[in-house]
Amino acid sequence: MPTLNLPIFPLPIFILPQGITRLRIFEARYLKMVSLAMKNQGFVIFSHDNSEKVNTMKVGSWVEVINFDQGEDGILLIDVRCKCLVDIQAITQDKVNLHHGDVTPKNHWPDTSLDKTTGELSASLNKLFSENTELDELYQKPCFSLGNWVVARWMELIPLKLAEKTLFTNQNSYNQAKQLLQRIILTDEGI
């Protein structure tokens, strides 16, 4: 696929393909970004946390706006879904300090059937969704039957530093992510 030029939104969040998150948009430059995203092909979330060392990996999450609303405080709320991961090349800033980057889509984990471990992770994730109204409302069509979907959602949710999570943007990192979750999630549950 050819290189695209898309707005870049640096945020301290981590989102993998098919992941959904809700964003509060209030700065003028990001309102402009949403306007551009609605007219064009979306924007890129660059996982960045000011308290951590600069992320040397130039990988972002190419997202599309799937829903928008206005919060009680008048701030724009948008729900975005990650279409795919992208490699970010050149980054520029426009006159309102909105970042733009040349990006190229990259492959991530292929669809994977559930096995014993991902089946147990799926059951615990399904339970978490049923207990968390906000998560349950964001995901209108969850894919609890796909191992890669389940592992990706857990990777987004677990409390690891962003720098550690970016290791799992590699196409070949699925098994390592699954093993990490098995140690963290399933051991904690006593399964």
How much is the pLDDT for 24?
94
Which residue range is the domain that position 14 belongs to?
4-106
Residue 88's CB is within 10 A of a number of other CB atoms, namely 19
pLDDT tens readout for residues 114-143: 999 999 999 999 999 999 999 999 999 999
Quick check: is 155 in a domain? yes
Residues 79 and 21 in one domain: yes
Cα–Cα distance, 53 to 117 (Å, whole number):
33
Q: Are residues 16 and 82 in the same domain?
A: yes
Q: Which of 169, 159, 153, 173 is nearest to 56 (CA)?
A: 169
Q: CA 119: distance to chain centroid?
A: 22
* Ranges of the chain whose pLDDT falls below 50: 54-55, 190-191
> Are 77 and 142 in contact, with CB atoms under 8 Å apart?
no
Tell me, yes or no, whether 70 and 135 share the same domain: no
Which residues touch 10 (CB under 8 Å, ≥6 apart)?
Answer: 46, 48, 99
Q: Are 86 and 144 in the same domain?
A: no
Tally of domains in the chain: 2
Query: What is the percentage of the chain residues whose pLDDT exceeds 90?
Result: 81
Distance CA 72, CA 56 (A): 38
Asked which of 62, 84, 106 is the last residue of a domain, the reply is: 106
| Beta partners for residue 70, in sequence order | 76
pTM of the model: 0.91
Residues 98 and 122 in one domain: no
